[in-house]
Amino acid sequence: MKVLVVEDEPKLAEYLRKALTQSSYVVDVVADGLSGLHLAREQAYDLIVLDVMLPQLDGFGVLSALRKSSHVPVLMLTARDSIEDRVKGLQRGADDYLVKPFALSELLARVQALLRRGGMSASTPLEPAMLVLDDLEVDLIRRRATRGGQRLDLTAKEFTLLTLLLRRRGEVLSRTVLAEQVWDMNFDSNINVVEVAVRRLRAKLDQAFDRKLLHTVRGMGYVLERRDE
Ligand code: CA
């Protein structure tokens, strides 16, 4: 599986290269839109990870030009959760979106989902587009979480946090792990931020329900699981 990353932030680009390489993808990285378009036309990629704000030619420009000749799956990276950006990208033929900053697990899940949708992935271990625990359902493609059929109104961070806990359900995740995975490598982890976010997530996830799913393990961290009491 060959992936092209078009991203001009050196740190993030390097992070993506490492992460995708570790997941056994062959990765090319370029830092501007024109180089990205050029390479995308020359080489056969299975997927393109495309930043929106790029020098020379922005992500929308790359996408518009690319779609004239190619149906390669495109995952766009946007800096903010802007509906206009989403609509603009989708109209130009983007297949999916990720809002920065994102957790690595989230990126890999999207990449796998797109490759699977393209019907290509034979060797990569796949993850379902929907994660389910008890009456909690998380739709990774539409980025929607429901509990007992009720939509949970989560922020992007809370969604990422929930997804991570859900993927590793039954496993106690420390605040440090959560800080690294959810709050990105670019920032100094602030444990307090994690605690506040977990509290908010818990209020949305568990408050209205008798059966709690998000548990604190004193001195260790948090675990998402169904406990029959
Ligand atoms: Ca950028």
Per-residue pLDDT band at 122 (split at 50, 70, 90)? very low
Tokens of 100: 């920065």
CATH number at residue 175: 1.10.10.10
Tokens of 192: 């307090």
Per-residue pLDDT band at 98 (split at 50, 70, 90)? confident
Residue 29 shares a structural domain with residue 82 = yes
Place of tokens 């991570």: 164
Bridge partner residues of 165 (DSSP): none
| CB of 192 closer than 8 Å to CB of 200 | no
Residue 147 shares a structural domain with residue 109 = no
Residue 137 shares a structural domain with residue 68 = no
CATH number at residue 111: 3.40.50.2300
CA of 27 to the centre of ligand 1 (A): 18
- Is 97 within a domain? yes
Residue 193 shares a structural domain with residue 136 = yes
| CB of 99 closer than 8 Å to CB of 78 | yes
Given 116, 149, 174, the domain boundary residue is: 116
CA of 45 to the centre of ligand 1 (A): 21
Asked whether the predicted pLDDT for residue 121 surpasses 50, the reply is no
- Residues 51-65, mean pLDDT to the nearest whole number: 94
CA of 225 to the centre of ligand 1 (A): 37
Residue 112 shares a structural domain with residue 194 = no
In sequence order, which residues have a C-beta less than 8 Å from that of residue 182 and are 6 or more positions away?
Answer: 103, 157, 160, 161, 164, 194, 197
- Is 122 within a domain? no
Domain that holds residue 193: 130-224
Tokens of 157: 């961070």
Express each pLDDT in 67-76 by its tens digit. Answer: 888 888 999 9
Q: Which of 200, 135, 125, 187 is nearest to 166 (CA)?
A: 135
pTM of the model: 0.55
| CB of 42 closer than 8 Å to CB of 66 | no
Mean pLDDT, all residues of the chain: 86
- Is 229 within a domain? no
Residue 96 shares a structural domain with residue 140 = no
CA of 223 to the centre of ligand 1 (A): 35
Residue 78 shares a structural domain with residue 144 = no
Specify which of 123-127, 189-193, 203-207 reaches the highest per-range mean pLDDT: 203-207
Q: What is the pLDDT of residue 125?
A: 38
Work out how many domains the chain is built from and give that number: 2
Longest CA–CA span in the chain (Å) reads 59
Per-residue pLDDT band at 120 (split at 50, 70, 90)? very low
Torsion of CA 166, 168, 170, 174, to 10 degrees: -100
- Is 16 within a domain? yes
d(CA 149, CA 136): 8
- Is 33 within a domain? yes
CA of 6 to the centre of ligand 1 (A): 9
Place of tokens 């990765």: 27
Given 92, 116, 140, the domain boundary residue is: 116
Residue 107 shares a structural domain with residue 204 = no
Per-residue pLDDT band at 123 (split at 50, 70, 90)? very low
Residue 137 shares a structural domain with residue 110 = no
Q: Which of 200, 206, 156, 202 is nearest to 182 (CA)?
A: 156
Beta-carbon neighbours within 5 Å of ion ligand 1: 8, 51, 53
- Is 121 within a domain? no
Bridge partner residues of 136 (DSSP): 133, 147
- Which phi and psi angles does 49 have, rounded to 5°? -100, 115
Residue 6 shares a structural domain with residue 105 = yes
* Between 126 and 62, residue with greater pLDDT: 62
Residue 144 shares a structural domain with residue 179 = yes
- Is 124 within a domain? no
Asked whether the predicted pLDDT for residue 209 surpasses 70, the reply is yes
Residue 105 shares a structural domain with residue 155 = no
CA of 186 to the centre of ligand 1 (A): 14
CA of 200 to the centre of ligand 1 (A): 30
d(CA 166, CA 218): 19
Asked whether the predicted pLDDT for residue 62 surpasses 90, the reply is yes
Given 116, 150, 185, the domain boundary residue is: 116
- Is 87 within a domain? yes
* Between 87 and 115, residue with greater pLDDT: 115
Express each pLDDT in 160-203 by its tens digit. Answer: 999 999 988 999 998 888 887 787 644 455 678 889 999 999 99
CA of 58 to the centre of ligand 1 (A): 9
CA of 146 to the centre of ligand 1 (A): 32
Helix (H), strand (E) at residue 61:
helix 59-66
- Residues 199-224, mean pLDDT to the nearest whole number: 95
